[in-house]
Structure 1
């Protein structure tokens, strides 16, 4: 059985959206995690070695990190078309965006939100405006990161802006893309599920 360990209103919410898009038999198992407001705590039912989410188990396989989990799932359940397969057009761009999010976007956004800056960060990772200019350039060529094809890369790369909408000020092309992503039924269902879980935990 393929199982996704998830906690509401966290990075793993994007994985719930993907599971909905895939329409696959994947169990979503809710666990608690330590939260910034002091609520929650490490859940012994969560097999993640650091007590975090998301975490995916599939028989003897186990995965952490959203980009890796998304790639694994879109390869495992190809009928939904949520990621180009090996040898298929767009595969290179797809892999690049999944890695770009993990290696560039999330660190740059965290630095932006924390107010930290240093020439080393800009040289190694890119600065925030350069990152946003890159996204804008690509999205002006098509409604999605892969052009006409919506993919798990859109779910992953748009996800932080749902939590931090202030970052979208001055970037109308990216703002419109995030709205398109969030308007999909799979995303709306994931947000509704999270809201229900949050209400139960309140």
Structure 2
């Protein structure tokens, strides 16, 4: 049994989208829980086993998997028929894993620093800047629709999500990519699901 602990309009919304794109909604129970939110609303939900009271979290027969990058890789490989993962041995496997890790190790911190107005040379040297993140994405997407070419993967689902949430950055290549990702069945389903389940 697999359970996703989800709070509407949060980082776990992208996991709901993933489940739809994986055709895995019949195999995963979505448990809607509350979380403490940045604006002070919400609360820690005792039903949520995440050690920090956050989402997303999946429980697969008692095995807990947390962090979006790990959950996305785990589920995409658990439901391979959808073709959203790049399997071991494939020539694009390294690039695919690199994008997932880059999101967690670079993109999320950089966008968080920008959102709260933190700017320091040491952070820029360690993580890069928002401008560098956008430049890398734009260069990658200049001559192809998705990060790895013509094929939408779970890496696209993860990497486009902050721009879908906070707004497109005004870079044509990135904006068009975000639009393509948001036009997928998973993104549309997740938006509808969240609208029907108040946070």
TM bracket, shorter-chain basis: over 0.9
SS at match of 2:3: strand
Deviation at 1:106, TM superposition (A): 0.8
Distance 1:18 1:85 in 2: 17
Aligned to 1:192: 192
Aligned to 1:114: 116
Alignment of 1:1-202 (within 5 A): 1-24=1-24, 25-165=27-167, 168-169=169-170, 171-198=171-198
Distance 1:95 1:36 in 2: 30
Query: Runs of 4+ in structure 1 displaced over 3 angstroms?
Result: none
**In angstroms, what is the RMSD of aligned CA positions?**
1.1
Aligned residues: 197
5+ long unaligned stretches in structure 2: none
TM-score normalised over the length of structure 2: 0.95
> Higher relative contact order at CA 8 Å, sep ≥6: structure 1 or structure 2?
2
SS at match of 1:116: coil
Distance 1:160 1:30 in 2: 21
TM-score normalised over the length of structure 1: 0.94
1:67-121 CA-partner distances (Å, limit 9, x unpaired): 0011111111111101111112311111000000000001111111112111101
5+ long unaligned stretches in structure 1: none
Distance 2:103 2:68 in 1: 9
Distance 1:194 1:76 in 2: 24
Distance 1:88 1:78 in 2: 14
